[in-house]
Amino acid sequence: MTATPRPERAAAPGKVNLFFAAGPPRPDGYHDVASLYCAVSTGETVTAAPTRGAGTSVGVAAVPGSLVAQQIDRGTFTLDAVPTDGSNLAVRAAEAVLARFPRLSGGLHLQIEKAVPVAGGMGGGSADAAAALLAVNRLAARVSGEPALDDDALLQLAAGLGADVPFALTGGAAVGTGTGAHLRPVPVGAPLHLVLVAAEAGLSTPAVYAELDRLRTHEDVPPPRLPAGLEEALRTGQAAELAPLLANDLQAAALSLAPQLAPVLAAGAAAGVLASFVSGSGPTVAHLVAEAAAAEDLADVLRGQGAPALAVRAP
């Protein structure tokens, strides 16, 4: 009897968008964006194990202490919301890799350890896809004895899975253009300190874009651009200089669909943070503070008030 090959495990970070501008809708329905992505120190882990059956199965668990675990403790979320069929982005990622190893047979199990809120604007599904690309690539190469796909091939598969997947693969900080998938890494002088606050219900990214287009119906929307000085402020690591430059075109749309985010943002101002913003299409809110200790203190206070909150570094 041959032993079952050992599993492979890989991680990928969640993200916030420190800046996000979206242009007008394109003829294909997508929007060109100018995004400053920044990875955060909370993210997803995927373990890929071979099985004797066929097809890909999925298991999902919450990382203790994570925003997802806090949402479950408060009764505002259950892991049933994560698809375990072929619509799970991690499954699509695994199958994209396996298609490049046609001689392999047998099934696959993906165990996802979730920390990033679902439909939270933090790219959780994209991080699962990125981690699955890495884990399945290593497993398939080891089991088949063929060379693993190189970084460029993985990035190409990532871009085919979703606009945020390439960034989840590379991490760090990067400017994203086009739909967000075209990346240019940018240096960060010092990690930023954020407090992430998860909402009770998720927001659908397409719904937020549709609301943005509706709110801008009569506006002449310029092509998306990063503001002057933003990359320099990040490079020098001066959070106070970065704070006034943070902006997100999707924030007004997210607030329009989820007005309950207004007091969450206002709580940051009341606590004297440097800036508060909605991440991506929301509804997760991030508060920028000057130091790690201030982030831990604010996260404690917000958790005491009943909100799922987590102090993180970025990147």
Sign of the dihedral defined by the CA atoms of residues 121, 295, 37, 260, in that order: positive
Q: Tell me the C-alpha distance between 299 and 282, whole Å.
A: 19
Binding site for ligand ATP (CB under 6 A): 82-83, 87-90, 118-126, 128, 164, 202, 205, 280-281
Q: Is the peptide bond before 283 cis (omega within 30 degrees of 0)?
A: yes
Residue 225 main-chain phi, psi, to 5 deg: -145, 150
Toward ligand ATP, which CB reaches closer, 119 or 174? Answer: 119
β-bridge mates for residue 195, sequence order: 287, 311
DSSP 164: T
Toward ligand ATP, which CB reaches closer, 14 or 239? Answer: 14
Contacts of 101-106 spanning 24+ positions with Cβ under 8 A = 101/140, 101/141, 101/144, 101/146, 103/144, 103/146, 104/140, 104/143, 104/144, 106/50, 106/51, 106/52, 106/53, 106/54
Query: What minimum distance in Å lies between the beta carbon of 133 and ligand ATP?
Result: 12
Nearest Cα to Cα of residue 279 among 78, 26, 67, 45: 67
Calculate the alpha carbon distances from 214 to 30, 201, 229, 287 in Å.
15, 22, 30, 28
Alpha helices in 3-123 (DSSP H): 67-73, 89-98
Which residue's beta carbon is nearest to the bound ligand ATP?
125
Toward ligand ATP, which CB reaches closer, 35 or 274? Answer: 35
Active site residues: 15, 164
Q: Tell me the C-alpha distance between 210 and 215, whole Å.
A: 9
Contacts of 129 (CB under 8 A, 6+ apart): 89, 90, 92, 93, 158, 161, 162, 165, 168
* CB of 7 closer than 8 Å to CB of 166: no
Q: Is residue 122 classed as helix, strand or coil in its secondary structure?
A: coil
Query: What minimum distance in Å lies between the beta carbon of 92 and ligand ATP?
Result: 8
Query: What minimum distance in Å lies between the beta carbon of 254 and ligand ATP?
Result: 10
Toward ligand ATP, which CB reaches closer, 20 or 268? Answer: 20
